[in-house]
Amino acid sequence: MAYTFWHGGILIGESELAPDPNEARHLVGIFSPTAYGLELFPRLIGMFSAAYQLKTYLEDNGLDPEEMEKETVERVLDTTPAGQKIIDIGRALSDVEMRAPDGKRLEFTSIGFSDVMELRSLLHDMKLESAHNLDDLPADAPRYIVSATVRDGSSPLADDCPFPRLPEPRWPADN
C-alpha cells in the first residue's frame, strides 16, 4: 500500500514507505514520481548540495554562522545562489502534503526528496570515498528517495508495526 505525496493539491508521486529501524516516526522509501512530480522535482531536491555550497561560501569568506548577526544570515541566504536554492526548496516543500495508504493526511516535522544522481555528484565534489559506492549502482537502480518524519500522534505505525524493517543497504562491492 502506497503513501501518496501531493503539491498544491496535485499528486506528485507515491512510495512504499518503511519505518527506520531506530525511529518508527521516520519513514523512508523509493519515490515514484508522476509526470507533474518530475516537473516539480528540481524545486524539491538539492538541499544537500545547496547546504554544501553555502558552507563552502561561508568558509571561503571567513564567516561563522554561529557568530553572524541575523541580518547577515538573511542577506547571505537572499543573495547567494546556494541560499536562494535553500529558500526555494523550503517554499516548495511547504506545499507538500503526505497521505497514508488509507488516504488520511499525515503531518510531518520534516520531509526530503533526493535524487541518487545528485547525491553521487555531491559526494564526488566533496571528494568522499563513499561516492564510488554510487558509481557501481545498476542501471535499473531506483533514482528517487523520499524521507519523512511524521509528527507525534500522526504516525500510522504502531509499535507492533506490520511493515518490514528496511534491509541494510548492500553495495556491489559487498557481494
Tallying the residues shown for the chain, one arrives at: 175
The pLDDT tens digits of the residues spanning 30-79 come to: 999 999 999 999 999 988 888 889 999 999 999 998 899 999 999 999 99
Stronger pLDDT, 104 or 162, i.e. the higher one: 104
Measured CA to CA in angstroms, residue 103 lies from 63, 98, 166 at distances of 46, 9, 23
Q: Where are the alpha helices (DSSP H) in the chain?
A: 35-44, 47-60, 70-79, 81-93, 116-125, 131-135
Arithmetic mean of pLDDT over the chain: 83
How many Å apart are CA 63 and CA 125, to the nearest integer?
21
pTM: 0.76
What number is the average pLDDT over the span 162-173? 41
* 42 CB neighbour count, 10 Å cutoff: 14
The pLDDT tens digits of the residues spanning 116-133 come to: 888 777 777 776 665 556
What pLDDT is recorded for position 130?
A: 58
What number is the average pLDDT over the span 140-165? 67
